[in-house]
Structure 1
Amino acid sequence: MIDFKNNKRISLAPMIDWTTADFRYFARLFNPHIYLYTEMISTSAILKGDTDYILRFDDSEHPVVLQLGGSNPSEMAQCVRIADTFGYDEYNINVGCPSDRVQHNKIGACLMAEPRTVADMVRAMKDSTDKPVSVKHRIGIDDFDSYEFMRDFVGTVADAGCTHFIAHARIAWLQGLSPKQNREIPPLRYDDVYRLKREFPHLFIEINGGIDNLDDIKSHLNQVDGVMIGRAFYHNPMLMAQCNALWGESAPSHRVILENLYPYLQKRAEQGANLATLVRHYLGLFQGLAGARKWRQDLSGKRNLTVDEIRQSAEAVLVQNGL
């Protein structure tokens, strides 16, 4: 069994519009150990928007990490000071998102070409909080696709005091590929991330990209310190439950997860949330089981849903599968 007390961890990746507070609450029901990351939140959203709404999270989500998008060190520092009052456990800098929208604001993967800017952000944030600060990055961008480019980026940022790096094991093409294509077309280069760990043994190196089953998670953990998973956890959340085996614990059942989810849904409904919109995050609950398609159909395309209607749809699947 992998010793998670000796620098090993599993994380839910930050995903815009997906790792909302409502999904993170759901994710925590599957596994008490996984680190949950918020979707990327820009500094301007925190400084100019509805901060209380944007930064809210349920106490059950701990350990929870706020991922920030920005390029101005003083604004990043100001945001972590604000976020500290909400009780986040860690902060992460987005240096991996390849979308045109974030590039325009000098956020995301384009910052790999400016390691000193990233280093300045790390210093400013660490001066403003006693919580850990990490960086999520690609292994390269455009024609800067050599291992040496990533190594030098990590080395420069590490000199600023960052000790935790999360490497998406694909380069990002900043022009010509959509964000979706950037998750699929550039080939995975896991060996580059393994090499990074060998050359920086004192750093905490986490790997991300294309990992979707427990056997592969175990294999990666023999090479690096952590594994981060995004869409595989979202579309098949029971994979998070299966990860309990890494801690020598059993997976919670679908029925237990649902019984813990219903009170939360009732609370959200009383707060005015539209459950028909919210439940999009839960469509993957019965992935691979008989009745999963009917569950998705029951919850999709509705203008309104009640907790009782959700419960009835779930019960039909549970009974069909003898759960």
Structure 2
Amino acid sequence: MPLTLLPQDNLPRIIHAAPIGICITNAEGRFEMVNPAYCDFYGYAEQELLGQHFTLVVPEAERARLTEQHRAFIHGEADQECREEHEVRCKNGERRTILAEASRLVDAQGEVKKVTYVVDITRQNALQRRLAFLASHDELTGLLNRRAGMSRLDEEIRRGQRYGTLLSVAIIDLDHFKRINDRHGHAVGDEVLCETAALMRQELRASDALVRLGGEEFLVILPGVDRPRALEAIERLRRLIELTPMGQPGLALTLSAGVANWQAGESSHLLLERADKVLYRAKARGRNLALMT
């Protein structure tokens, strides 16, 4: 059986004082009461909402679904609606995320109403997305971090073992990067790292992966690429970085790279070990060089 509303002389006062957004809609889905917290959240004055359909604050794509959900709830037997996250639209066009829970009630005339309690979880969701992003990405550059990069590499190796597809990798190290931090400060160093990461990411294919291994060291994963094409791709990166001013006028940067082609049955550890060895050969030969095993 539906619950019964509190006496009319108490209900408005309680709803008005509530710290969370509360609205009451009739069986047709039109607002009959909205409290100040509800109005403040959506940016509407009370008189702008009363009499309007509740989908006024719902994105157009969701209106039909939520209208049907409202109808089913009004005519159903459950006294409470399950908590559900919704995206909503404020008066200024801003989109937010709410956690909504509703109760099906009756008024003194026996008409069924729906009272909905709204909690803003936009920031919580944004924080959760941010934490999920940081679990797999480098905070400074936005690239995949070492853990996620190694997972991606193992995934590509498994694909190669199963389907016989090609795979190449490169380990890249920015030459004399410590000098930039020492001479210009870590803020400039961070700026250079971000610019370098963005340049390399733009030059690579969408199917490639760029990973920040740590410090000024990066890993490039090139699925479906043979030895000559892999070296060509990394050489393009080398020339791009060499010719692009970084951080501030007069600040130049180069990179050294070791490129390796995956061999059937080889683990990610052995593959990176080979790439790392050839990287050190490139450094020993004067830096600003990309070499392949």
TM-score, shorter chain, exceeding 0.5: no
Which structure exhibits the higher relative contact order, with contacts defined as CA atoms closer than 8 Å and separated by 6 or more residues? 1
Pick the structure with more strand per residue. Answer: 2
Q: Report TM bin, short chain.
A: under 0.3
Give the TM-score taking structure 1 as reference length. Answer: 0.22
* Structure having the higher Rg: 2
